[in-house]
Amino acid sequence: MKALIVAPSWIGDTVMAQPLFVRLHERIPNLELHALAPRWVAPVLQRMPQVAGVIDSPFGHGQLSLKARWSLARELAAMNFDRVYVLPNSLKSALIPFMAGIPERIGFTGESRVGLINTRHTLDKAALPEMAERFAQLAEPVGAPLPRPIPLPQLASTREQQAASFALLGAERPEKLAIFCPGAEYGPAKRWPTRHFATLARELVARGYTVWSLGSPKDAPVGDEIAAQGPARNLCGKTSLHQAIDLIAAADVVVCNDSGLMHVAAALGRPLTALYGSSSPGFTPPLSPLAKVISLKLDCSPCFKRECPLGHLDCLEKLDPERVLKECLP
């Protein structure tokens, strides 16, 4: 069977979709699984052995672009997929598989997608509290319970790939490497304050660690703020996602906000300390036995807002660097 995944547009969500891919290979002998995904999440899919190939989805968040969608649908029709799993719940995400005439189109009903999705699951949020579970449910027959536990995400990174990523930076592999992922694409309500990261960097360097910050170009100002206050090299925006994956895979300590790179670190099996503010570890936890979650669980959190609606960000401001240090050290 040849199947297509319409992948999420967020790095973390894409990592959390991997348990579905594992289940599909368990359920379907000789499955050939491809993914339709934006180029910014493609490197994550390329590190998953379950995915045979990645097809570029050139549409940004919110873009309809019907003519371009018709063109891509024709390309997909020529690839003769037997079925498609549509992971996002938006109407737009279901259009291309429908236009391509893929016979079986599987997903949650979502945004009025009757007809576009012809094998429709009804989302029971209470029965499936975690996002990864919701994706994995799509491997089961409609109405069937989800077998637990679900598989854990596992991304691939070889020693050779890691060595090449260090070489591209002109750096030797440090004896003890701590990686910070201080960004959060969703918004500032998920970002631990830069002065706290800087304090943690000083404590780690005093214990023999080299500290690097990783993230996207949008995170570069945050990385600069940390570097101005503490000994953390700012590599935000200076690596590709492939390089970031390999550098995280080589880390001895990883400290992250709830972000895409946090889920990458979990899937690489690194010792991870995950910091939660406005978001909930009950919905998008790091799926790794080596991950430690810190959340103050204040009355006002999680609020799931991009910016603190009360203006104080106590859920992260009051998260003390000393506590994080104790959690992240082996």
Question: Tell me, what's the pLDDT at 95?
Answer: 94
Question: Tell me, what's the pLDDT at 59?
Answer: 86
Question: Tell me, what's the pLDDT at 83?
Answer: 98
Two tokens, residue 189: 């309500």
pLDDT in tens, 34-48: 999 999 999 999 999
pLDDT at 250 over 90: yes
CATH assignment, 159-328: 3.40.50.2000
Query: What are the residue boundaries of the structural domains of the chain, listed by start?
Result: 2-137, 159-328
Rounded-to-integer distance, Cα 125 and Cα 137, Å: 12
Question: Tell me, what's the pLDDT at 111?
Answer: 80
Question: Tell me, what's the pLDDT at 188?
Answer: 87
283 and 130 in contact (C-beta within 8 Å)?
yes
Provide the pLDDT confidence category of residue 60 given band limits of 50, 70 and 90: confident
Provide the pLDDT confidence category of residue 330 given band limits of 50, 70 and 90: confident
Provide the pLDDT confidence category of residue 93 given band limits of 50, 70 and 90: very high
Mean pLDDT, residues 182-197 taken together: 92
Rounded-to-integer distance, Cα 285 and Cα 12, Å: 10
Record the pTM: 0.96
Mean pLDDT, residues 159-165 taken together: 98
Rounded-to-integer distance, Cα 42 and Cα 249, Å: 18
What percent of the chain stands above pLDDT 90?
91
What is the DSSP pairing of strand 253-257 with strand 233-234? Answer: unpaired
Rounded-to-integer distance, Cα 4 and Cα 100, Å: 11
Provide the pLDDT confidence category of residue 264 given band limits of 50, 70 and 90: very high
Pick the CATH number of 2-137 from 3.30.420.10, 3.40.109.10, 3.40.190.10, 3.40.50.2000: 3.40.50.2000
Fold: same for 2-137 and 159-328: yes
